[in-house]
Amino acid sequence: MAQKGTRFPDIVSYANERGIQFKPRQNDGKDEVYAICPFCHHHNFKLSLNPVKNCYRCWHCSEVGGIASFISKIEGVSEVEVIDRYRSQKTRNVHPALKLTHEQRRLIGCAKLPDWELMRKRDPKYFKLTLDMLWETWKAKEQELREDAYTHLYISIITGEIKDSEKKERIVTSITEIGRRINVPILEELRVAYRAKPDWVKTIERNTDSLFQSIKTKNTTTVENQHAG
C-alpha cells in the first residue's frame, strides 16, 4: 500500500504513548527495541520495534509489518484509515518538538511523553510553552553533541591520528553514530564547519590549541627539571 508523502509517528514513540512495556536495560546502540507484544502478550519481550525502519516483528506470534499496520492493529481500524489520518496531518503546522524521535527525546531525558492532545485541550498556552521548552532543550543538546563531535575530529587532526587509516575509520564511525542518534548528517556538517569556521568552531579550536600547548609546555618543563636534577 502506497504511503509516500505520509508523515507517520516514530514506532517506538507510538508504542510508548500506548503504554506498551519495554524491556529494561537495553543496549541503546542497537537499532531494535524490545517490548511486550500487545497482540500475543508473551511475557519475554518478544516484540521487536525498529525506529530506523519504523517497523515491528513479534518473534513469538509472528505479527510483522510497518507503522501503519502497527497502529491499525493497536487501534482496531483499517490501514487505509490510519494512512488517511496521517496524510491529512501533513498540511497542519506541526510543532517541530512533536517530530522528535524517541532517541532524540531520550537524549534529553524525555523518552516518555505526556498526553499531548489532552494537554492541548486543557491549556493551549501551557501546551505551546511545553513544546517550545522541549524544542529549545533539544536544540541545545544537538549543538552540544555537534561540538563534542567536532572536538573529537579536531583533536584527531592536530595529533595526526586522522592520517592513520584504522584510526580514521574508527573516528568516522564514532561521529557517524552520533549523527545517527540525533538524526542529523553530522559528518558532512563538520566538514563544512571545518572550512567555514563559524564562531563555535573557532572557540573549540582555540581552546583545544591552548590546552595542547599547555600540556606541551608542562612536559617540556618536566623534562628540563629532570635534566637539571
Domains of the chain and CATH, by start: 11-92 (3.90.580.10), 134-228 (no CATH)
Q: What is the mean pLDDT of the chain?
A: 84
Yes or no: say if 201 and 194 are a contact pair by the CB < 8 Å rule: yes
Calculate mean pLDDT across residues 4-30: 76
pLDDT band at 25 (very low <50, low <70, confident <90, very high): low
Q: Return the higher-pLDDT residue of 200 and 23.
A: 200
Task: Look at residue 192 in the predicted model and tell me its pLDDT.
Answer: 87
Identify which of 173, 156, 161, 163 has the alpha carbon closest to the alpha carbon of residue 208: 156
pLDDT at 135: 94
Residue 36 pLDDT: 93
Q: What is the pLDDT of residues 145-178, one digit of tens each?
A: 999 999 999 999 988 988 888 888 888 888 888 8
> Tell me: the pLDDT tens digits for 58-81?
999 999 999 989 998 888 878 878
Residue 197: partners with Cβ closer than 8 Å, 6 or more residues away? 205
pLDDT above 80 for 102: no
Percent of the chain residues topping a pLDDT of 90: 31
pTM: 0.58
| Rounded Cα–Cα distance for residues 166 and 182 (Å) | 25
57 strand-pairing partners: 48, 64
pLDDT of residue 118: 83
Q: What pLDDT shows up at residue 1?
A: 41
Q: How sure is the predictor about 144, in pLDDT bands with cuts at 50, 70 and 90?
A: very high
